[in-house]
Amino acid sequence: MSAMSEKLLSVQNLHTSFFTDSGEVQAVNGVSFDLDAGEILGIVGESGSGKSVTAYSVMRILADTGKIKEGRVLYKGQDLTTWSEKQMREFRGKCCSIIFQDPMTSLNPVFTIGNQLIEAITLHTNRRGKEAHDRAVELLEMVGINEPERRLKQYPFAHSGGMRQRVMIAMALACEPDILIADEPTTALDVTVQADIMDLLEDLKNTTNLSIILISHNLNMVTERSDRVMVMYAGRLMEIAETKEIVENPMHPYTIGLMNSLPDITQEGQKLTAIPGELPDLTSQKPGCAFCPRCSRAMPICSVEEPELR
Ligand SMILES: Nc1ncnc2c1ncn2[C@@H]1O[C@H](COP(=O)(O)OP(=O)(O)OP(=O)(O)O)[C@@H](O)[C@H]1O
Ligand SMILES: [Mg+2]
């Protein structure tokens, strides 16, 4: 493979399962996608569709019962699924970082912001002492926090939710990763703060060539912010395309269903069209398209094999 054609991240036929008392939960079932340098890839889908497990598989931070059964996760051409835990610790932080929905549970309440940020810096870089401190200040400035010197001495509870999420982003960026995975990064925040955090992520992408995987069940937010969008359902990839394509010309009936279930803010009092039915049982998967039982446009072939999108 030439260096030119090498993708930053390439997930190929990923299968991830959890082995539980009630059987094997096939959480991710044959998902493939690429991530380019400097792009935002959105992942959308209903709760339980496998968005987080896809991200956790890339970072290899699955629960003990979870296992990547099949497939490859190529980072700059190298297969992470074969890496040792020691190599993965380097990967997490230096190559790829993740931020979660609730910044309060990710920050330790008994240490100052400075303690935690400087620890992240010294853990993953050669910076020590004043150099680490200065880097912490620089990171807080980068994520739009005023008076960073003062903020470093404060505890997490002294910060608003939006401020804490900015701190988490600063920690995630401490060792300049190529990839940031943002798993529902704004769900716990109110709407105006959500927009600020998303502006920040977009700015970072534009100024640092950071690639972002943006996970959310908020289709509006994802289509507004992403270069490409991937739609998941029951652990499978339903559709992946440029955002404009997905918005203007969704192909899969599930994507069309998701689009139709969006409230139209121009029409007051309009009801959400929910997609009838519920997610299938992930312990006993059948052949064919996973959405088939709920699809208003299903054809006999759909219960046999996944239809081609056209
Ligand atoms: N530790 C686990 N043990 C067993 N099953 C799990 C575990 N973690 C996730 N799952 C299952 O895997 C499937 C996918 O879960 P995942 O968390 O990826 O969904 P999601 O798309 O991120 O949903 P949400 O929007 O609610 O965050 C679900 O059916 C879930 O119950
Ligand atoms: Mg999730």
The 10s digit of each residue's pLDDT in 227-260 is 999 999 999 999 999 999 999 998 888 888 888 7
Q: In which order are the strands placed within the sheet that holds 179-183?
A: 96-99, 179-183, 211-215, 40-44, 228-233, 236-242
pLDDT in tens, 111-143: 999 999 999 999 888 999 999 999 999 999 989
Closest ligand to residue 53's CA: 1
pLDDT above 50 for 306:
yes
Residues within a 6 A CB radius of ligand 1: 18, 20, 25, 27, 45, 47-53, 63, 65-66, 217, 282
Placement of tokens 């090498």 in the chain: 6
User: Which of the two residues, 38 and 258, has the higher pLDDT score?
Assistant: 38
pLDDT score at 193: 87
pTM: 0.91
Residue 1 pLDDT exceeds 50: no
| C-alpha 308 chain-centroid distance | 26
In this model, does residue 267 exceed pLDDT 60?
A: no
Measured by CA distance, the residue closest to atom 3 of ligand 1 is 18
The residue to mutate among 16, 21, 49, 53, having the most atoms of ligand 1 within 8 angstroms of its beta carbon, is 53
Nearest alpha carbon, ligand 1 atom 25: 47
Tell how far the Cα of 147 is from the centroid of ligand 1, in angstroms: 39
Residue that the structure tokens 């050669």 belong to: 126
283-291 LR contacts (CB < 8 Å, sep 24+): 283/22, 283/23, 283/24, 283/25, 283/26, 284/23, 285/26, 285/29, 285/234, 285/235, 290/29, 290/233, 290/234, 290/235, 290/236, 291/233, 291/234, 291/238, 291/252, 291/253, 291/254
The residue count of the chain comes to 310
Token digits of residue 148? 């960073």
- The set of residues, in sequence order, having a beta carbon less than 8 Å from that of 182 and lying 6+ positions away, is 98, 99, 201, 212, 213, 214, 215
Q: What is the mean pLDDT of residues 210-233?
A: 94
Compute, in angstroms, the gap from residue 49 CA to the centroid of ligand 2. Answer: 8
Residue with tokens 């030119």: 4
- Which ligand 1 atom lies nearest to the CA of residue 49? 21
> Which residues are close to ligand 2, an ion, with C-beta < 5 A?
52
- Span 160-210, pLDDT tens digits: 888 898 999 999 998 889 999 999 998 888 888 889 999 999 999 999 889
Q: Whose CA is nearest to atom 10 of ligand 1?
A: 27
Tell me the best of 11, 19, 25, 183 to mutate to test the pocket of ligand 1, counting ligand atoms within 8 Å of each CB and taking the most: 25
Which domains, ranges and CATH numbers included, belong to the chain? 9-110+155-254 (3.40.50.300)
Residue 58 CA to ligand 2 centre (angstroms): 14
Q: Residue 144 CB: number of other CB atoms within 10 A?
A: 16
Whole-number Å distance, alpha carbon 310 to ligand 1 midpoint, is: 30
